[in-house]
Amino acid sequence: MFVPILLVVAFVLLLIFNRPETRLCRWREFRETDDVPWTCVHCGATVSLPRGQRPQTCYRQGRA
């Protein structure tokens, strides 16, 4: 009885926390400066953001 309920809860949580706008992005952070350059390993896109922020969207060409 609990297994189907847990499966439904897990599915709902996946729907809530799924971020399709960054699904293919694999961001890596380089902390040498105050403006932290993030580089996507998958597509090579780069973006500089203040320390503590993460990229929220994909910056690949044609997908901005």
Q: What is the mean pLDDT of the chain?
A: 77
Q: Contact at 8 Å (CB) between 4 and 12?
A: no
When pLDDT is averaged across residues 7-34 and rounded to a whole number, the result is: 77
When pLDDT is averaged across residues 34-50 and rounded to a whole number, the result is: 79
* Residues 47-57 pLDDT 10s: 888 877 888 77
pTM of the model: 0.48
Bridge partners of 38, per DSSP, are 29, 47
When pLDDT is averaged across residues 36-52 and rounded to a whole number, the result is: 80
Question: Between β-strands 35-40 and 46-50, what pairing exists: parallel, antiparallel or unpaired?
Answer: antiparallel
Kindly give, in sequence order, each residue whose CB lies less than 8 Å from that of residue 53, ignoring residues fewer than 6 positions away.
36
Query: What pLDDT does residue 43 have?
Result: 78
Query: What pLDDT does residue 3 have?
Result: 93
